[in-house]
Amino acid sequence: MGVMEEERQCSSLRAGADMIPLRLVAKSSGPLKILCIGAHSDDIEIGCGGAILRLAEEYPGCEFYWAVFNAVGVREAEARRAAGLFAGSRLKGPILKGFEDGFMPWAGTEVKAVFENELKPVAPDLIFTHNGQDAHQDHRLLNQLTWNTFRNHLIFEYEIPKYDGDLGRPSVFVPLRRELCDAKVVHLMDAFGSQRSKHWFEPGTFLSLMRLRGMECASDSGYAEAFYCRKLVL
Ligand SMILES: [Zn+2]
């Protein structure tokens, strides 16, 4: 297939992008409650920061509940600041814990207690959490405990690009305007100074994954975030 033919196929796909959007409706009479769960202080923002910015725009009355399990020292301050940058005045909490990076599966009893005692009472309408195929053991544990704790909830599992290479084939796409992608990246680079020395923590990593997922859902802007959803009830 030549380049021109590929471009024609791409443009015709976008012109015919008729997949109807689904809207979120809170099940209670109160505000839409969104619970964001992350193992480390930048996971939520990398995995679903764009979706959070878009939800905040589209559901002005929504509330973001925020839980980070490894937020220690400078990373606690970074987590607190980043949560404010993304969720703004809609932020509840955040709940910041000091579990050791890489060791959460061996502190499972205490981690599960946080879910039972502090997250379950939130009664969220939508949950963002790590995906079950993630290569990081802390991420996988939080995914399992999310499903243990929330038995009849809408759960979107986000992806974190990493050296180990564990990207898969997500099924839920959230198209994002380019301005929201740029805001996400600016917030990430601004809030997580302690991570900037990591070879992968740079705008190109985050923008390229959003560009790839945008291509896969024929996003008008070309950009999107993507999630895994095991169960969806219409
Ligand atoms: Zn992490």
Residue 13's pLDDT is what? 55
Distance, CA of 129 to CA of 48 (rounded, Å): 9
CA 39 to ligand 1 center in whole angstroms? 5
**Helix residue ranges per DSSP H, 93-177:** 108-114, 137-149
CA 40 to ligand 1 center in whole angstroms? 4
**Cα three-residue angle 133-47-16, rounded to 5 degrees:** 95
**Cα three-residue angle 113-118-119, rounded to 5 degrees:** 100
CA 50 to ligand 1 center in whole angstroms? 17
Q: What pTM value is reported for the model?
A: 0.92
Q: Phi, psi (5° rounding) for residue 164?
A: -65, -25
CA 70 to ligand 1 center in whole angstroms? 9
Distance, CA of 109 to CA of 197 (rounded, Å): 33
Minimum mean pLDDT range among 43-47, 133-137, 148-152, 192-196: 192-196
Q: Which residues make up the environment of ion ligand 1, defined by Cβ < 5 Å?
A: 39-40, 43
With a cut of 90, say whether residue 185 has pLDDT above it: yes
CA 38 to ligand 1 center in whole angstroms? 7
CA 71 to ligand 1 center in whole angstroms? 11
Least Cα distance to 34 among 4, 14, 9, 55 occurs for: 55
Q: Where does the pLDDT of residue 19 fall: very low under 50, low under 70, confident under 90, or very high at 90 and above?
A: confident
CA 218 to ligand 1 center in whole angstroms? 28
Give residue 88's region: left, alpha or beta (phi > 0; psi -120 to 50).
Answer: left
Distance, CA of 106 to CA of 102 (rounded, Å): 9
CA 231 to ligand 1 center in whole angstroms? 24
